[in-house]
Amino acid sequence: MLASRILSHIFGDMDVKLSEVHGMAQRGGSVVTTVRAAETVHTPLIADGEADILIAMEYLEGLRYAHALKPGGRAVVSTQKIMPLPVLTGAAPYPSESIENAILINALALASEAGSPKAANVVLIGAASVLFDFPDEKWFAAIEAHVKPKFLDANKKAFKLGREAAKKE
């Protein structure tokens, strides 16, 4: 949710709509958020095949939502794999498909390097930032607006590490 708030902030004066679906997040499930920005946005929902960018905090989630991308859309995906119960019990294999047009980032490792594994979401925002035409100062202002001061240094470093990794990808 922090990542979606940072993205929402970056668009400044544009009309921005944010949608969050928490589902079973309190029990370890995923949270799905959408951010839409344009001169006028009528709905926060994005139809399948119309998303410009997909950011996935876990590889299987990236696979699960890759259908949302429009042709030529880009995905920024953490290489972290959290094994679902059917995989853990041996009832199903972990999917072997790849995600087309994806920037794959070891977000957890980079966040740990930045000083906080919890900053993996900001690592991915940093990686996604290469797909936007906003200066670093604007990104840092968005991070400062949404991250508590005591976590700011680690999150700024996480952003930089994600951005650098994406440029190499």
Domain 2-168: give its CATH architecture. 3-Layer(aba) Sandwich (3.40)
Is it the case that residue 162 has pLDDT exceeding 80?
yes
Predicted confidence at residue 28, as pLDDT, reads 57
Tokens of 154: 């680690």
Q: How far apart are CA 32 and CA 20, in angstroms?
A: 6
Q: How far apart are CA 168 and CA 16, in angstroms?
A: 30
Predicted confidence at residue 63, as pLDDT, reads 95
pLDDT digits (tens, 9 = 90+) for 92-148: 999 989 999 999 999 999 999 999 999 999 999 999 999 999 999 999 999 999 999
CA 58 to mean position of chain CA atoms: 9
